[in-house]
Amino acid sequence: MVKLYNTLTRKKEVFKPISEGKVGLYTCGPTVYWYAHVGNFRSYIFADVLKRVLMYNGLEVKHIINVTDVGHLTSDADSGEDKLEASAARERKTASEISHFYFNAFQKDFEKLNLIEPFKWTWATEHIKEQIDMINILEKKGYTYKTSDGIYFDTSKFADYGMLSNKKICGLEAGASQHTPISTGVKRKIYLREKKNKTDFALWKFSGEPGERQQEWKSPWGLGFPGWHIECSAMSSKYLGKQFDIHTGGEDNMPIHHENEIAQSECAFGKKPWVKTWMHGAFLNIKGNKKMSKSAGKIMTISELERGGISPLAYRYFTYSAKYRKPLVWSDEAIKGAVDSYKRLKNIISGIENKGGMNKKYLKEFEERINDDLDMPGAVAVLWKLVRDEKAEGKIGTIKKMDQVFGLELLKEEVVDVPDDVQAIADERQKARDEKDWVKSDKLRDKLRGMGWAIKDRKEGYELGGDGNNIK
Ligand code: AMP
Ligand code: ZN
Q: Where are the domains of the chain?
A: 17-281, 285-406, 420-470
- Count the neighbouring beta carbons within 10 Å of the beta carbon of residue 216: 19
Pairing of strands 284-286, 328-329: parallel
Contact 2, 39 (CB under 8 A): no
Rounded to whole angstroms, the Cα distance separating 470 from 70 reads: 46
Read off the pTM: 0.85
Q: Is 398 in the pocket of ligand 1 (CB under 6 A)?
A: no
d(C-alpha 65, C-alpha 31), whole Å: 11
Write the CATH number of the domain with boundaries 17-281: 3.40.50.620
Report the half-sphere exposure of 335 (CA within 13 A, side-chain side): 21
Q: Cα(430) to centroid of ligand 2, in Å?
A: 59
DSSP secondary structure of 283-333: PEEETTTEEP-TTTS----HHHHHHTT--HHHHHHHHTTS-TTS-EE--HH
* Helix (H/G/I), strand (E/B), else coil: 53: helix
How many Å lie between the centroid of ligand 1 and the Cα of residue 48?
14
Q: How far apart are alpha carbons 200 and 155 in whole angstroms? A: 5
- Kindly state if the Cβ of 228 falls inside 6 Å of ligand 1: no
Pairing type for strands 224-226 and 244-250 reads unpaired
66 C-beta closer than 6 A to ligand 1:
no
DSSP-based three-state secondary structure for 461: coil
Which residue owns the Cα nearest ligand 1 atom 6?
30
Rounded CA Rg of the chain = 26
Q: What is the pLDDT of residue 405?
A: 98
Kindly report the protein residue whose alpha carbon is nearest to atom 12 of ligand 1. 250
Q: Please report which ligand is nearest the Cα atom of 294.
A: 1
Which of 32, 41, 43, 82 to probe ligand 1 with, by most ligand atoms within 8 A of CB? 43
CA atoms within 13 A on the CB side of 299: 18
Q: Ligand 2 centre and the CA of 229: distance in Å?
A: 6
Q: Please answer whether residues 130 and 231 qualify as being in contact, where contact means their C-beta atoms are separated by less than 8 angstroms.
A: no
Pairing of strands 190-192, 201-206: unpaired
**Residue type at 69 in one-letter notation:** D
Task: Note the pLDDT of residue 55.
Answer: 98
- At position 48, the amino acid (one-letter code) is D
Say how many Å lie between the CA of residue 190 and the centre of ligand 2: 27
Ligand 1 atom index nearest CA of 291:
19
pLDDT at 183: 36
pLDDT tens-digit series, residues 301-347: 999 999 988 999 999 999 999 999 999 999 889 999 999 999 999 99
Contact in structure between 74 and 86 (CB atoms under 8 Å): yes
Per-residue model confidence (pLDDT) at position 169: 56
Below-70 pLDDT ranges, the chain? 76-77, 167-193, 295-298, 414-417, 459, 465-472
- Ligand 1 contact, 38 CB (< 6 A): no
Which residue's CA is minimally distant from atom 21 of ligand 1? 283
Q: Return the DSSP state at 115.
A: P
Measure the CA–CA gap between 341 and 149, rounded to whole angstroms. 54
Query: Closest Cα to atom 23, ligand 1: which residue?
Result: 40
CB distance 25 to 64 below 8 Å: yes
Contact 430, 398 (CB under 8 A): no
Cα angle value 14/17/22 (rounded, 5°): 135
Residue 82: predicted pLDDT: 85
Q: Check the CA dihedral 444-448-449-450 and report its sign.
A: positive
In a 13 Å sphere around the CA of 308, the CA atoms on its Cβ side amount to 14
The confidence score (pLDDT) of residue 466 equals 45
Return residues with CB closer than 5 A to ligand 2 (ion): 28, 232
What is residue 188's predicted lDDT score, i.e. its pLDDT? 32
Q: Which atom of ligand 1 is nearest to the CA of 248?
A: 10
Q: Which atom of ligand 1 is nearest to the CA of 250?
A: 12
**Which secondary-structure segment (H or E) carries 102?**
helix 95-112
